[in-house]
Structure 1
Amino acid sequence: MPVASDQTFPFPLLIGDIGGTNARFALLVDAYAEPRQLPPIKTGDFETIEEAMQKSILDKTSVRPRSAILAVAGPIQGDEIPLTNAGWVIRPKDMLASLGLDDVLVINDFEAQALAVAAPADEDIVQIGGGSVLPRSSRVVLGPGTGLGVAGLVFAQNTWIPVPGEGGHVDIGPSSERDFQIWPFLEPIEGRMAREQILCGRGIMNLYRAVCAADGIDPVHADQAEVTTAALAGADPAAVETLSLFCTYLGRVAGDMALIFMARGGVFLAGGISQKILSALMQPEFRTAFEDKAPHSALMRTVPTFAVIHPMAALSGLAAFAQRPGDFGVATEGRRWRS
């Protein structure tokens, strides 16, 4: 069974960000060294995480990690942790036995993203719209990718405490007249419209097909990369509207999360999609929707929003925790295994 313990981990230490599509790793030789980034791994290329780590990492380095801290896309319950949007099942006991590790901690992937925004470097973020950070105040990080990740970061008793969750699976509904035209054509999940059905890679395609259906036209783009590329180039009206609506809906959800956490420390958009569509997020739609929270619109105008442009933000958050565990209140009970 998983055990609770102190917050220190033996080095060398392997950190990993395990998403639905890609798994990214870095090695920390000690508590002071810069993380040594390793080539990313496609989760679909390997049957198990143990096979991926052995063949892609351990077989190719002389550094033998003694412990691992992994951030995974999915809820952590018990000794078997299935990924929400990939075929892997994380089994820490198997990792201890087959990879020669002494210590494994598994946390939520957006919990790691939250750790990264406790003290982001200026060059790692871009502000979208107005507002200013209130120091030592709650923060929110969310990001559309393979799914939609959401987490909070609360400052209490001189400690940053990440608050993981599954906020991407909360319901979302229509608001504007155009929404009501499009909504009947959106594909639900088991009868309900969750945020992740729109605000992720496949969600862009769901939204694009619904826009086309509402207008009675045939879709011409095959995947979300084509849609966003055409939208950013202004090459296709349906794609342009899709991206505009995507930014609007992301703004609404970001504003909802800001209100839930009273995130006066800022709301941070993470992930590759946010980086790719940054120019669209800088247009009025995202921020207008974010602030449109009557009766608290004046308050929302004071809350800053940022895009995280660090290419490996989750790994930087894990490294900060591994090297300075006393700065963070990361819960380990039920999520840490030792040999």
Structure 2
Amino acid sequence: MSLPTDEDLTAGLAFPILIGDIGGTNARFGLIPDAGSEPHLFPIVPTGGYKSIEEALISGVLPKDMARPRSAIIAVAGPIKGDEIPLTNAGWIIRPIDMITALDLTEVIVINDFEAQALAIADLSDENRVKVGGGEVLADHSCAVLGPGTGLGVAGLVHARQTWFPVPGEGGHVDLGPRTARDLAIWPHLETIEGRISGEQVICGRGLLNLYRAICAADGKPALYADPAEVTQAALAHEDAAADETLKLFSTYLGRIAGDMAMVFMARGGVFLAGGIAQKILPALQGPEFRAGFEDKAPHSALLKTIPTFVVTHPAAALSGLSAYARAPQRFGLTTEGRCWRP
């Protein structure tokens, strides 16, 4: 990774600025009129409802009576390589040059979606987060953010030279292995991807269903639910033993991966769980399983006990992060090399 240049750190986008968070299922957009204004947020649109981001913006998002954007910064669920950016868990292919042509923009920047989540936690207020377990935040120390959704997103936020540096990656695809006798009974029944079980095979919406079916198969019982929301609802209501165990193990495995990321980034500034699933299963995450999985990191369990964990409750955290960067880019070491397009 190359270090950001002075131009990367200080250059600003032209207002009004379109901001967008493109996930595997939904797309969220906003428009920032100027550096002193909060973004105007538009209704959420499903990515499956439009053929392209340009069609979604022109037909379903931007009102005709509002000032048109002059530039854009978009966060996408997937790696950014080249002029065509396919989304990991959705059908859109982001082509910044097409966006520039269709919307008459002067500049488009594309970053990873969890990079935007990392930008958001630099300014996350207490009312937009819920602490889970012990530990205390050390100011100006590195943080980690991860979140189960359509997939499993992971990013870091490193503080150096009075600047926050977001660190994108594909940490959701790290290997996830069994540790207990119960894990070993369940693991043969999990659906794999090319022969392996990654974090994203278990710790996301479809992964929760994968885990539920494996638990039922291990116990020789029929799977009653075919939707992750049904499993979650049954578990939170304690209506079904298999669903209840699914959510507890889901919390355990999420805790294990969160603890791994805490050690990778030495996240003494905290580990943050973002996305809608974490908010929906907050009661389960406040049980003992998540923190037990997080802290069980011998020989560094004592260290992990000192690192706080939070659930992000901001309704549009990624857009908040993009807005923070768009209005004050000098605060962040966000390199735009290879990720910025102009006419």
1:4, 1:336 within 8 Å by CA — same for their partners in 2?
A: no
User: In the alignment, is the contact (CA less than 8 A) between 2:156 and 2:168 conserved in 1?
Assistant: yes
Matched, 1:10 2:10: no
Q: 2:69 aligns with which of 41, 62, 65?
A: 65
Q: How far has the Cα of 1:86 moved from its partner?
A: 0.2
After superposition, the C-alpha distances for 1:293-317 in whole angstroms (9 at most, x for unaligned) are 0111111100000000001000000
Partners in 2 of 1:30 and 1:71 — Cα distance? 20
Q: Counterparts in 2 of 1:300-319, with a 5 A limit?
A: 300-319=304-323
Counterpart residue number, 2:105: 101
| CA offset digits 1:70-123 (Å, max 9, x no partner) | 000000000000000000000001111111111100000000000000121110
| Counterpart-to-counterpart distance in 2, 1:59 and 1:312 | 20
Paired position in structure 2 for 1:227: 231
Contact in 1 for aligned 2:9/2:332 (Cα 8 Å): no
Of 238, 244, 269, the residue aligned with 1:240 is 244
Tell me the SS of whatever aligns to 2:139.
coil
Aligned residue runs from structure 1 range 1-339, under 5 A: 7-339=11-343
| SS of residue matched to 1:193 | coil
TM-score, normalised on structure 2?
0.97
Q: Report the residue type matching 2:263 in the other structure.
A: L
DSSP-derived class of the 1:70 partner:
strand
Aligned length: 337
Q: Report the secondary structure of 1:244's partner residue.
A: helix
Quick one: distance in 2 between partners of 1:87 and 1:274?
24
Point out where structure 1 has 5 or more consecutive residues left out of the alignment: none
Letter paired with 2:325: F
Instruction: Judge conservation of contact 2:8–2:333 (CA < 8 Å) in 1.
Output: no
Matched residues in 2 for 1:230 and 1:172: separation? Answer: 25
Change in Cα spacing, 1:78 to 1:168, as seen in structure 2 (3 Å) is: same
3-state DSSP of counterpart to 2:58: helix
Q: Is the 8 A contact 2:146 2:152 kept in 1?
A: yes
- Distance in 2, matches of 1:189 and 1:7, equals 41
> How far apart are residue 56 of structure 1 and its match?
1.4
Aligned partners of 2:153, 2:11: CA distance in 1, in Å?
A: 25
Structure 2 Cα separation of the partners of residues 88 and 192 of structure 1: 26
- Could you tell me how far 1:5 is from its partner in structure 2? 8.9
Q: Spell out, residue by residue over 1:173-221, the C-alpha distance to the aligned partner (whole angstroms, 9 max, x if none).
A: 0001100000000000111111100000000000000000000000001
The answer to whether the 8 A contact 1:4-1:334 is kept is no
Amino acid at match of 2:253: Y
How far residue 231 of structure 1 moved from its aligned partner, in angstroms, is 0.1
**Shift, 1:264, TM fit:** 0.2
Q: Which amino acid aligns with 2:219?
A: D
Q: Is 1:254–1:290's contact at 8 Å kept on the other side of the alignment?
A: yes
Distance of aligned partners of 1:6 and 1:94 in 2 relative to their CA distance in 1, 3 Å threshold: farther
Conserved? CA contact 2:19–2:29, under 8 Å? yes
Task: Name the amino acid aligned to 1:171.
Answer: D
Note the aligned Cα RMSD (angstroms): 1.1
Q: Is the 8 A contact 2:118 2:157 kept in 1?
A: yes
- Please tell me the residue identity of whatever aligns with 1:336: C
Identity %: 66
Separation in 2 of the partners of 1:205 and 1:15?
32
Provide closer, same or farther for how the CA distance between residues 4 and 301 of structure 1 changes in structure 2, counting only shifts above 3 A: closer
Which segments of 5 or more consecutive residues in structure 2 lack a partner in the other structure? 1-6
2:4 matched residue in structure 1: none
Any idea what the Cα deviations from partners look like across 1:24-74, whole Å, max 9, x if unmatched?
001100001111010011000001111001111235442110000000000
Question: Residues 112 and 61 (structure 1 numbering): CA distance in 2 closer, same or farther, change over 3 Å?
Answer: farther
Residue 4 of structure 1, CA deviation: 6.9
Please state whether the residue corresponding to 1:104 is helix, strand or coil. strand
Q: State the AA in 2 paired with 1:7.
A: A
Q: Distance in 1 between matches of 2:125 and 2:65?
A: 30
What residue number does 2:3 align with?
Answer: none
Which one-letter code corresponds to 1:126 in the other structure?
Answer: V
